[in-house]
Copies of this chain bind each other. A is one copy, B any other.
Amino acid sequence: MDYQQVINNIYHEVKSLPVVGEVADYIPALANVDPDQFGIAIATIDGQTFGIGDYQCKFSIQSISKAFTLSMVIRHIGSQLWEYVGKEPSGTPFNSLVQLERENGIPRNPFINAGALVVTDKLMNLYTHPKEAILEFVREMAGTDDIYYDKTVAQSELKCANRNQALGYFMKSFNNIDNDVDALLDVYCHQCSISMTCEELAKSFLFLANHGINPHSQKEILSVSRSKRLNALMLTCGFYDESGEFAFRVGMPGKSGVGGGIIALIPGQLAIAVWSPRLNKYGNSYLGIETLERFTTDIGISIF
């Protein structure tokens, strides 16, 4: 299939849609981004890469980083993790704290903020230098060393972290956080601040499209079974309260971030990254979802 042609077509169709949605404004560093940037990149497991638009611009991956840290932790402790965080969709945003309270500080899944904090907390138990370890893992997956934390974004997030601090202290009151909450937030805000391009992002998720094997190095990152499970989690929980809708419309496992990026993949074939900073009310990129829906429709491929 001529993926370059496919994304060229979609790019131009989607770019001409009426402009809707707002850039995330909860931290100044994100609010200042040019809202009309738009890029698409595809990486296939047989080593090809395709791209259009701003697919080589760096942007803040934000919550997409949760899939990296989850992979790192599952790789080391496997199913032990599920004593501390669940695997079920969370229902509504409203539920996050309700459910934490009802369920004794165990978050519903690793992709809501509370769950991602638990994952990062476990990662801090595994690595003496967790921030360095995360960056190293992402660079290895993407096949490039040109990936960094955006310190301005990280500091900006740390200053606006009251809600995440509340989650951290709340779970700590249930003994579900091991590390100091301030240290945890420092790592967490850094992982969210990683800057990557669509192209780098697409490449870095190929191991999940390739049954756990990094296709660059042929190294096993996750077992087949764990890779399958991580994809299942992305499908059921990767888009906050829009996860059902995304599965319904798009039908690929994926993960979004409030920076406007979305990564999605077709097991056995490819990973696709889209970036456009304008968000819908669920905090997911408008054009990103639009692009991916058209992509699966045009090529007639979904996991369903």
The chain A residues found within 8 Å of chain B, CB to CB, are 86-92, 94-102, 108-109, 162-163, 165-170, 172-173, 181, 224-225, 227-229, 231-233, 235-237, 241-245, 247-249, 251, 253, 267, 297, 300, 302-304
Also in contact, A243 and B236, with CB within 8 A (given A91-B89, A91-B90, A91-B92)? yes
Q: How far is the CA of A268 from the CA of B173 in the complex (A)?
A: 43
Q: A162 with B170: in contact, given A88-B241, A89-B89, A89-B244 (CB under 8 Å)?
A: yes
> What are 29 inter-chain pairs, A to B, with CB distance below 8 A?
A86-B244, A88-B89, A89-B91, A89-B236, A90-B91, A91-B92, A92-B102, A95-B95, A96-B101, A97-B101, A97-B170, A162-B169, A162-B170, A163-B169, A165-B165, A165-B166, A166-B170, A166-B172, A166-B173, A169-B169, A228-B304, A229-B249, A232-B244, A232-B251, A232-B304, A233-B244, A236-B236, A237-B244, A303-B303
How long is the Cα–Cα vector from A20 to B95 in the complex, in angstroms? 32
Q: What is the chain B residue whose CB lies nearest that of A293?
A: B225
Residues of B within 8 A of A247 (CB): 232-233, 235-236
Please tell me how many copies of the chain the complex holds.
4
**Mostly helix, strand, loop or mixed at chain A's interface?**
helix
Residue in B92, B167, B235, B245 whose beta carbon sits within 8 Å of that of A166 in the complex: B167
Does the CB pair B248–A303 fall under 8 Å? no
Q: What's the nearest-Cβ distance from chain B to residue A210, in Å? A: 12
In the bound complex, residues from chain B placing their C-beta under 8 Å from that of A235 are 235-236, 247, 304
B-side contacts of A165, CB under 8 Å: 165-166, 169, 181
Report how far A227 CA is from B303 CA in the complex, Å. Answer: 12
A135 to chain B, nearest CB (A): 27
List, in ascending order, chain B residues with CB within 8 A of A249's CB: 229
Determine if B224 and A300 form an interchain contact, defined as CB atoms under 8 angstroms apart. yes
Q: In the complex, which residue of chain B has the Cβ closest to the Cβ of A239? A: B88
Residues of B within 8 A of A95 (CB): 91, 95
Shortest Cβ distance from residue A166 to the other chain B in the assembled complex, whole angstroms? 4
CB-CB under 8 A from A237, the residues of chain B are: 244
Q: Could you say which residues of chain B place their CB within 8 Å of the CB of A98?
A: 97-98, 101
